[in-house]
Amino acid sequence: DEKEKFEPTVFRDTIVQGLNEAGNDLEAIAKFLDATGSRLDYRRYADTLFDILVAGSMLAPGGTRIDDNDKTKMTSHCVFFAEEDHDAIRNYAQVGIIKG
């Protein structure tokens, strides 16, 4: 039996790239997450996926982002960057709940 490597940074890079390519269209983001779910192990990387969908990148213990301000390692398509509006936050939550 060969153990599968745990590579959250590779997972992050894949998810962030797809979210950034989807643009501001939450429907496209939902479709990307749905399609990617069959290829990536969301259960194995649940914490990383949650960090990305809420904060836009992986978080270190204590809550600081570990992206070194590298735009390829972070996305603005997340709850933290959403409009401060009930409907906007609800739409992001629905994408996360349905796909996450």
Query: How far apart are the C-alpha atoms of 30 and 27, rounded to whole Å?
Result: 5
pLDDT tens-digit series, residues 70-92: 888 999 888 888 888 888 888 87
Whole-number average pLDDT of the chain:
86
> Smallest Cα–Cα separation from 73: which of 55, 97, 85?
55
* Percentage of the chain exceeding pLDDT 90: 41
* Percentage of the chain exceeding pLDDT 70: 92
Tokens of 32: 């990307």
pLDDT tens-digit series, residues 20-41: 999 888 889 989 999 998 889 8
Angle between helices 8-22 and 46-55 (to 10 degrees): 40
Burial class (CB in 10 A: 0-12, 13-18, 19+), 17: middle
Query: How far apart are the C-alpha atoms of 78 and 51, rounded to whole Å?
Result: 9
